[in-house]
Structure 1
Amino acid sequence: MSYEFERKQRLAILGGGPGGYEAALSGAQLGADVTLVERIGVGGSAVITDVVPSKTLIATAEASNAIGEAADLGVQFFTRGENGRPVRPQVAVNLQAVNERLLRLARQQSEDMKAELIRSGVRIVQGHGRLDGPSRIVVSTGGGTGSTDFDEIEADTVVVSVGARPRELDSARPDGERILTWTQLYTLKTVPDHLIVVGSGVTGAEFASAYTALGSKVTLVSSRDQVLPGEDADAARVIEDVFTRNGMTVLSKSRAESVERTDDGVVATLTDGRLLHGSHCLLAVGSIPNTSGIGLEEAGIQLADSGHIRVNRVARTSVPSVYAAGDCSDFLPLASVASMQGRTAVFHSMGDAVTPIELRNVTSNIFTQPEIATVGWTQKQIEDGVAQGEIYKLPLAANPRAKMMGIRDGFVKIFARTGSGTVIGGVIVAPKASELIFPLALAVEHRLTVDQVARAFTVYPSLSGSIADAARAMHIVN
């Protein structure tokens, strides 16, 4: 008597960032034969050179800032001088030690993720991979793209999660020493005397905020009317006010034409002819998807003009057997979205229950000081008539816990559907806003009304109490 066993579904993943990692775990959980191809290490650039190290640096900056502001709470630091009198010490940042720590943490996170994949039965192939049609990945495993050592991986489903890299300017070529992209900052051994940041989007604003707290003189070059263009206008205004109050120079409606290295620093030439002299320059002018030269178009996969892979709400490309997740796709470039795309892609490809991703429900956070967290519809969309909603804003300074903590800046803002009071969005500007936004994210996801949010108990005193207070102020009279 003979038995026929159904062959396991073969899942091949190109790129081990957040999207690829979650796709691999999900595939293993559903019983697939999973192979992950990664070039630099599990976690990809998000873990090794981007999100993990940058947010670790920002955490250090927050600690430095907290020490500097402790005097406002009545906490003062003194040492005794030679004459026995108290002397206030300076807060010193050992940037080399900071960078060594954050790179060590990033590498450890990568190793932890790798160990989890191995425990789950995922096969990991290290090398440069490319598609050879819609159902095969060819991997150069000999240490370079020109290697003659290859591994061929056949698959029923392919997930592409190759990420993106910093965009460079022809007139401002990074050298890794004075002119830097955000992946190169971690080689610095001392805090820059004067850091020029070109670009006032999320990345530029986050690093400008962090290096100001670490003690650098910072000049932020913004091509728009305000920093963080496209974000909530009230939130951006708060952040810009904090920046300038902390000594940062913000140059609005300015654009860098070129950046060149000098004998002892850099000089940035603006389009209006002004010259900016600094010790270092950070280029934060966007990113480019790593989609060229990996066989996508040859496999019939449709790309946007920007080079991003076009996907639908279940992360499927124009080729049914190929999915894409993360910054290489034309979805929202967030690690949390990449992870969700990776899981959704695998669940969909293997016939499991799946809920298509709704970008309107995605929470995002900007790790400035204070942070900006958002979810759902925006105030501009409501004012432009795209969504019908009411707006309520509550300054955080009125919150008793905020007063105790010495918090002066920030607010809670809720958007609720006109008539029903259903929460459709919100903005929080506060220290650790990334932790405070979750109740509003739940409200948006599950279509809770402001009255339902207000009925939930909050701790007194707490910053989250302002969320309930704002919801209570929007009560719908029946």
Structure 2
Amino acid sequence: MTDATAYDFDLFVIGAGSGGVRAARMSAAYGAKVAVAEEYRIGGTCVIRGCVPKKLLIYASEFGHEMADIAPGYGWTFEGARFDWPTLRDNVGAEVDRLSGIYARNLRNSCVSIIQARAEITGPHSVKLSTGETVTAKVILIATGGKPYVPSEVPGIEHAITSNEIFLLDALPKSILIAGGGYIAVEFAFLLKGLGVDVTLLYRGDTVLRGFDDDVRLHVHGELKRKGIRVVTHTVLASVEKTETGLISHLVNGQTVKTEALMLAVGRDPYSDGLGCESVGVARETNGAIKVDAFSQTSVPSIYAVGDVTNRMNLTPVAIREGACFAATVFGGTPMAFDHDTIATAVFSQPPTGTVGLSEADARAKYGPVDIYKTTFRPMRYVMPNEETRMLMKLVVRQSDDVVIGCHIVGPDAAEIIQAVGIAVKHGLTKAQFDATCAVHPTVAEELVTMKDKWVPPIL
């Protein structure tokens, strides 16, 4: 590779989301001259139109249930309470603006040059900007993330919105059909229902959250229906018809669903089109995901990629860690590959879901015999209000060595609990070590160290 002084920058990052920003700042800290190009807003999907604004909407959606159903059991009553969507929308937007500004300031403080323009790779060391300028770099990093998948073959699909637009609506619809059964679809179904929208969820499979443990899937599916969300399964959209009052979604099974709005949450695609990958020989998967090795290096040695555009594990913290490993490898002198195994994650359903490690089915397929410990119960918080939300806790234990290889929780604070449990599972603690840990009482989490009896399936 030619000496770095022959280039404008040591590193040119395309995309200022979580992974790109971390890689840029750390590389600059190692002494590299760095620039980052962003065509939209600094912060990427997570900050601008993903995790952060979604979590704020989830917080908002829980207040109505808390005031109407939980608080009276504890002696509280609320009269005249009302919800105002424009206030919430604008406050969320202001917080997103604040965070985007912090990301930009941190980049500048790290001496990273910010270029507000679209970038296209024109060679192993060159990038053309939408301003017409061409920039050269010793190393190029693609960190452009992903985008919602839109089934363009469905007639009338242009009338639908995605998770990108949901945060900017002038007014909440009175009713909505959400197409999809993954975590984005499930989260928005719960939160929109909590904000007073009549929600129907459309899913091609039999139970939501494909890929999660079956007990988790059934538990969340049951909570969707218990909250009054209509769930239509085993079918998909055939066409969408716009009317004076809203939309009519025609399904392939012959049913129709009339709603004011339709939201698509049927998957996400890597955002790699138009980046010039083909012209320079950067190999991609059929879905557009950029192929990389364990060190995030593409088929072109001077070009790397991290985050959702590689479609390895599409989570913000994963993109951040991949960006950090890239910087350490390329500019820090310490080759480092991120371990994608046993990563804790959460679905902000209501109640939330936390999971780490293998599902029961995957554990049996990989290791053979496993022991299962699980319990369902009503948390203390819900007893006096007579609220029927139940908690699920499940441990998957490898029989050969007693190691806990999976933990799955649905219930209050599950997302917070799984972060700590993820440490134990990641580092191979045994069920005996779980049992030797003293419980914190009274908490829901104490069940993780007090489940003694193996679960035995009922005899049918």
- With the length of structure 2 as denominator, give the TM-score of the two structures: 0.91
| Partner residue in 2 for 1:226 | 207
| Partner residue in 2 for 1:394 | 375
Cα distance per residue 1:353-409 (max 9 Å; x no partner): 354223222112111101111111221112334565322112243x65675796732
| Partner residue in 2 for 1:145 | none
How many correspondences in the alignment? 448
CA contact (8 A) 1:174 1:181 kept: no
Q: How does 1:328-407 map to 2 (within 5 A)?
A: 328-386=309-367, 389-397=370-378, 400=380, 403=383
CA contact (8 A) 1:374 1:426 kept: yes
Q: Match of 1:25, as an amino acid?
A: R
Distance across 2 between alignment mates of 1:424 and 1:69: 37
Distance across 1 between alignment mates of 2:382 and 2:124: 55
Alignment partner of 2:217: what SS? helix
CA contact (8 A) 1:220 1:251 kept: yes
| Partner residue in 1 for 2:138 | 156
| Partner residue in 2 for 1:60 | 60
Residue among 125, 149, 152 paired with 1:167: 149
Matched, 1:303 2:284: yes
Distance across 1 between alignment mates of 2:332 and 2:301: 13
CA contact (8 A) 1:42 1:114 kept: yes
CA contact (8 A) 1:39 1:128 kept: yes
| Partner residue in 1 for 2:37 | 37
Most deviating of 263-272 and 241-250: 241-250
Residue among 80, 83, 101 paired with 1:93: 83
Distance across 2 between alignment mates of 1:153 and 1:458: 58
CA RMSD of aligned residues (A): 2.4
Matched, 1:326 2:316: no
| Partner residue in 1 for 2:414 | 433
Alignment partner of 2:284: what SS? coil
Q: CA deviation at 1:415?
A: 1.7
Alignment partner of 1:344: what SS? helix
Q: CA deviation at 1:199?
A: 1.2
Most deviating of 382-391 and 324-333: 382-391
CA contact (8 A) 1:244 1:250 kept: yes
CA contact (8 A) 1:373 1:433 kept: yes
Q: CA deviation at 1:465?
A: 1.4
| Partner residue in 2 for 1:86 | none
| Partner residue in 1 for 2:457 | none
The alpha-carbon distance between structure 1 residues 392 and 264, as it changes in their structure 2 partners (threshold 3 A), is same
Distance across 1 between alignment mates of 2:304 and 2:367: 31
Matched, 1:211 2:201: no
The alpha-carbon distance between structure 1 residues 235 and 6, as it changes in their structure 2 partners (threshold 3 A), is closer
Q: Match of 2:116, as an amino acid?
A: Q
Cα distance per residue 1:163-208 (max 9 Å; x no partner): 1111112325565xx6311111123233321111111211111111
Cα distance per residue 1:68-97 (max 9 Å; x no partner): 222463334254xxxxxxxxx4x5321111
Cα distance per residue 1:198-221 (max 9 Å; x no partner): 112111111111111111111111
Most deviating of 345-354 and 58-67: 345-354
Distance across 2 between alignment mates of 1:353 and 1:426: 33
The alpha-carbon distance between structure 1 residues 311 and 387, as it changes in their structure 2 partners (threshold 3 A), is farther
Cα distance per residue 1:320-368 (max 9 Å; x no partner): 2221111111301111111111111121122543542232221121111
> Sequence identity, in percent?
27
| Partner residue in 2 for 1:118 | 108
Structure 1 segments, 4+ long, off by >4 Å, are 5-9, 172-175, 385-388, 399-407
The alpha-carbon distance between structure 1 residues 173 and 167, as it changes in their structure 2 partners (threshold 3 A), is farther
Alignment partner of 1:192: what SS? coil
Distance across 2 between alignment mates of 1:457 and 1:33: 51
Cα distance per residue 1:426-454 (max 9 Å; x no partner): 11111231111022210122222223333
Distance across 1 between alignment mates of 2:41 and 2:434: 42
CA contact (8 A) 1:269 1:275 kept: yes
Q: CA deviation at 1:120?
A: 1.2
Matched, 1:421 2:421: no
Q: Match of 1:425, as an amino acid?
A: G
